[in-house]
C-alpha cells in the first residue's frame, strides 16, 4: 500500500511571469505580483503549477512536489532557490515539512 499527499491543503495564487518560468519550477517573487524562476540563494515563494499567457499559477501553501539538488533531510528543512528553478537546503530559507524524497523531487508541505 502506498500513500499520496497530492493536493492536500494546496493553496495557489496567480502571478504575472516572464518567459523564464515553467510548470514544475521553484519560483521567487521578483516584483509586485510577479514571479521569476528561482536562482541561487533566492527566496522560495512556491512551485509553479501552470503557465499560460504570461500568468503563472503558483502553489504557495500545502502539498507541493519540489525539484531540488543536493541533500535535503526528511522532516523540517530550510529551502532556498538554486539555479534552473530548483531548491536546495540553505540557512534562513523557507521552512517546509519534507515527507518523501525520490528522483530529485521532494514531497513537502509549504
Task: Please give the Cα distance from 60 to 94 (Å, whole number).
Answer: 11
Answer whether 27's CB lies under 8 Å from 46's CB. Answer: yes
CATH number of 1-110, picked from 1.20.210.10, 2.60.40.10, 2.40.300.10, 1.10.630.10: 2.40.300.10
Answer whether 42's CB lies under 8 Å from 93's CB. Answer: no
Give me the sign of the Cα torsion angle 17, 70, 67, 12: negative
**Domain residue limits, the chain:** 1-110
Q: pLDDT per residue over 41-74, tens digit each?
A: 999 999 999 999 999 999 999 999 999 999 999 9
Based on C-alpha coordinates, what's the Rg of the chain?
A: 13
The answer to whether residue 1 scores a pLDDT higher than 80 is no
Task: Please give the Cα distance from 84 to 106 (Å, whole number).
Answer: 16
Amino acid at each position: 500500500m502506498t500513500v499520496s499527499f497530492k493536493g492536500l491543503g494546496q493553496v495557489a495564487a496567480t502571478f504575472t511571469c516572464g518567459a523564464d518560468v515553467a510548470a514544475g519550477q521553484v519560483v521567487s517573487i521578483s516584483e509586485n505580483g510577479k514571479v521569476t524562476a528561482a536562482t541561487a540563494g533566492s527566496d522560495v515563494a512556491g512551485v509553479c503549477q501552470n503557465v499560460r499567457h504570461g500568468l503563472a499559477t503558483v502553489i504557495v501553501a500545502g502539498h507541493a512536489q519540489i525539484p531540488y539538488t543536493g541533500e535535503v533531510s526528511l522532516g523540517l528543512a530550510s529551502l532556498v532557490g538554486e539555479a534552473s528553478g530548483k531548491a536546495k537546503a540553505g540557512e534562513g530559507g523557507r521552512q517546509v515539512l519534507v515527507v518523501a524524497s525520490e528522483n530529485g523531487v521532494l514531497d513537502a508541505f509549504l
